Structure 1
Amino acid sequence: MSTAAVRTIRKEIKDLYINIQSLQEKDKACGNGNGIIIIAESSTGCIFAGSSLGKKGKSNSPVNKWSKSDSFGQNELYFELHVLSFLFNCYSDTPSLFNVTRPQHLSGLELVRDMCNGNLEGATVGSSEITLTPGKIKGGNHVADTRTAGSVGLLMQISLPCALFAQGPSELCLKGGTNAEMAPQIDYTLKVFKPIVERFGVQFDCDLKMRGYYPKGGGEVVLKVNPVKELSPINMTERGNITKIYGRAFVAGVLPFKIFLHYIIYVSIFESTGCIFAGSSLGKKGVYADKVGIEAAEMLLRNIRHNGCVDEFLQDQLIIFMALANGTSRMRTGPITLHTQTAIHMAEQLTNAKFVIRKAEDEHGNNDTYIIECQGVGATNPSL
């Protein structure tokens, strides 16, 4: 990334501070919350994002052990795969602790149980072993409510792949926290994840009805998903040049403008290939806006410098779609995250998809640039 491009990003962030306007969302917020997200998009469609939220204390999202059923049908295969992917994405601040302890984990498991007429055993808050025996995935209307600020983004992660291979269209009402730490922010899901996953042939609409923040939650997102016959492979190996930078700030509840200025910013970068890079951060008590903005900008720049096409947060979210796609998918990334390594391991165990990770050796690569290649299993929807 050129010095001029970095200067452009910094100037746009500075200008955003100067011109920022309060976007109080009284009708779309529950509790008091605030945050920053920065997004960058390239001409090839690569999308990068970074984010952070402020709240009192931190919540752990630990995971322990998974007991899977002994047999796998076509529907069962990708269903159980994403439950595993979902669970391993719910990591803890203390890596040595692995327990399924949080309400969003339980809500997610109950959601997919209902979507497939399955049987769920041992699923309670604090449990360390879960057994899920799935049936056929059906469409229809389903509701999942964490009754806390538990992440609706994680509920979406576990339910979307299942809904894609359902017997008919699905409408999922997901309730909880839309902007929470240690989980995808809804802004990231809408601005980064959605346009990229649509390259696989995924068709879904996501309607943000109400934002929800720690500690009350109360957010609501309605997800409408059309089933697919199969997923197409993707090829995201060209970065492109930065063509556009934009930003957004938001605030929850009735925080006064002077406090708002100390807490929230949202900046995005689009590249000529369609890739999108994002950085974000949420304000914390006693932290000035410039510090919060710097955190978001550094997150964005870190993911741009490795010359990949996806950021560290999108890597693992795409693995399941690569595994299920009909053909060979490739994506250019920065350093391979532990989440991505876990997702690849589970995908290979459950689907027989084959992944290869290699250093990018072209002129634009560096020591932190990798190519993840996957020969997908070509899962098909028997109902279509």
Structure 2
Amino acid sequence: MNFLKINGAFGEGGGQIIRSAIILSCITKQPIHIENIRKNRKVPGLKPQHITAIKILKKISDSKVIGDEIGSTELKFIPGEIKNAKLFEDVGTAGSISLILQVLIPIVAISEKKLDLTIKGGTDVQWSPTIDYTQHVLKEVYSRMGIQFSLELKKRGYYPKGNGEINLEINPSKVKAISLSKRKTNQVQIISTFSKLSPEKIKSEIKKIEERLTKENFVVKTEIKEQEAIDSGASLLVYSVDENSIIGVDSLYNKKTQKFELDYGKFLEDRSVDENLADMIVVPASLAKGKTTFQVKEISKHLETNLFVTSKITGCRYGIGKLPNGFEVIIEGISYPSIK
């Protein structure tokens, strides 16, 4: 069998390579062999969320996988045909539900299939987008790209026990290119949720964030909700959306410092998408017909790695242009229906 070899240690060398490679393997039907998975991380190899995503893919297709074990640094993935399915899954830890959805949504939608999934795990955990980011930021850009899904949060799940739960419905979709430029809106939405923490402390922290954004001439609308979870915790999403831009930053509450460690700079920068969303656009853009364009402040290692891996598997072309205050990324997709 002709496997396409991918060095999992390339660039930023994290989980994004695994996610992108598996998504594109499933859609293009190209068998892949990933080596050196998360090699440079403190704990190398596959994590529970990677295993759960692969487990679900095996259930909704006849894909064959070698090396799908926690801690494995090598994986062979032979894609099969995606089928309609209704499933229940449990990550078994606080493993990130959002990262699992990053794999499943584009695969099922772009394969023009349907998935009804209930999944338990971590909804708001470190090194992962919060479930609110997935619901309000990722969903917005995917909708504009033709990718249709709905998400219902049933229960929050913080580290270390997780036990959060969501219902996901993915619908058959036809992916299309989009063009985003500089943000024009000054309207900002804040969403914060918490469990087993002082409401007064959370509200005090949110007020500081509101004041900072107001000083930057933003008009702020805030929603604070107490939502029961097994573990104590809190999450925060700050986002803005207009016809030219989709920008969001999220944060978890640090119980030691009793603060949301929010990176204001990443929200205030003059661009069209945030750093994390830039990564998530690359895969569907590579499969769309036409050119997708967006602006970023910096070309992160994650984005650079994703562009490389995606172009290697799909054959899409991309370019990066320097702007006075950042960069423009252009991805010329291959038009998925032409894949045989």
Q: TM-score, normalised by structure 2?
A: 0.77
Residue 380 (structure 1) aligns with? 337
Q: Which amino acid aligns with 1:245?
A: V
C-alpha separation between the residues in 1 aligned to 2:188 and 2:91?
35
Secondary structure of the residue that 1:172 maps to in structure 2? strand
2:247 corresponds in structure 1 to 277
Q: Specify the SS of the correspondent of 1:190.
A: helix
1:46 alignment partner in structure 2: none
Shift of 1:381: 8.9
Partner residue of 1:359 out of 314, 317, 322: 322
Distance 1:96 1:288 in 2: 27
3-state DSSP of counterpart to 1:123: coil
Aligned residue in 1 for 2:197: 255
- Per the alignment, residue 142 of structure 1 pairs with 87
- 1:120 is displaced (CA, Å) by 1.2
CA contact (8 A) 2:110 2:175 kept: no
User: Which residue is equivalent to 1:17?
Assistant: none
Question: What residue in structure 2 maps to residue 104 of structure 1?
Answer: 49
Mapped to 1, the partners of 2:94 and 2:303 lie a distance apart of 25
Q: Is 2:288 the counterpart of 1:325?
A: yes
Task: Please give the secondary structure, in 1, of the residue aligned with 2:81.
Answer: coil
**Residue in 2 aligned with 1:224?**
169
| Residue 370 in structure 1 maps to residue 340 in structure 2 | no
**Amino acid across the alignment from 2:266:** R
Structure 1 residue runs of 5 or longer lacking an equivalent are 1-60
Q: What's the CA shift for 1:213?
A: 0.9
| Count of aligned residue pairs for this structure pair | 296
2:212 corresponds in structure 1 to none
- Give the CA deviation at 1:272: 4.9
Counterparts in 2 of 1:255 and 1:325: CA distance versus 1, 3 Å: same
Structure 2 unaligned segments of length 5 or more: list them.
1-12, 206-233
Report % sequence identity.
25
Structure 1 counterpart of 2:264: 300
Larger relative contact order (Cα-Cα within 8 Å, sequence gap ≥ 6): 1
* Post-superposition offset of 1:151: 0.2
Distance 2:72 2:235 in 1: 38
Q: Distance in 1 between matches of 2:284 and 2:252?
A: 30
Amino acid in the other structure paired with 2:243: T
Equivalence for 1:234: 178
Which secondary structure does the structure 2 equivalent of 1:251 belong to?
strand
The Cα shift of 1:138 comes to 0.9
Compared with structure 1, are the counterparts of its residues 106 and 346 closer, same or farther at alpha carbon in structure 2 (3 Å cutoff)? same
Q: Counterpart in 1 of 2:145?
A: 200
Deviations along 1:183-234, whole A, 9 cap, x unmatched? 1110111111111111111111011111111111111121111112x31100
Q: Structure 1's 143 and 121: CA in aligned 2 closer, same or farther, altered over 3 A?
A: farther
- 1:286 corresponds to which of 253, 256, 259: 256
Aligned to 2:29: 76
Quote the RMSD (CA, aligned, Å): 3.2
TM-score (norm 1): 0.69
CA distance in 2 between counterparts of 1:187 and 1:345 reads: 29
Q: 1:99 to 1:168 in 2, by over 3 A?
A: same
